[in-house]
Amino acid sequence: MPPIGPGAGSRIPALMGQALAIAGVTLGAEAVAGMARRAWGAASFNSDFRRMVEANPDLKGADSQKVLDRFRILARLGPTLSKDPTVAGGWVRQTMEFPVITPTVLRDLVDVEQRARDLQSPFGGGTKGMSQLVGSHLSRGILSRDFPGE
């Protein structure tokens, strides 16, 4: 390593400028990537929601704000499940039967989402396994623990 001479101090502003330029480009690229992810997510959400409503025509006659709110919860906590219009429609329909979504229902949703992800992983059981898992939860009635009399 060459010794630091009297001219070394004069290079510091140039080096700092280069470092700041690199940092600025990196932050800018990260910001653009973040905007692209959000735009893609919004487009995907809209597409998934439209497909769910088309596959479940009975939801067209329901309270549209409630349908959207329930789907938004599903998309946030169960993104894998929200991609399947039949599963998404079943979950939205079932949760609309009650005025509130309880913590137990949300916990079950997160649990099923994790299992669905596990089944889709290279080490899991694929989409057939996911359909069986979701079907068993829906047939059991994921709300039964919160509303046993209904």
Burial class (CB in 10 A: 0-12, 13-18, 19+), 18: exposed
Task: Check if the beta carbon of residue 101 is closer than 8 Å to that of residue 95.
Answer: yes
Q: How far apart are CA 72 and CA 67, in angstroms?
A: 9
pLDDT of residue 119: 84
Q: How far apart are CA 64 and CA 81, in angstroms?
A: 20
Domain locations in the chain? 12-140
The tens place of each residue's pLDDT in the chain, 150 residues long, gives 555 655 656 677 777 777 777 767 666 666 665 655 555 555 689 999 999 999 999 999 999 999 999 999 999 999 999 999 999 999 999 999 988 999 999 999 999 999 988 887 766 555 455 555 666 666 666 545 555 554
pLDDT of residue 38: 57
Compute φ and ψ for 46, nearest 5 degrees.
-60, -45
Q: pTM for this structure?
A: 0.57
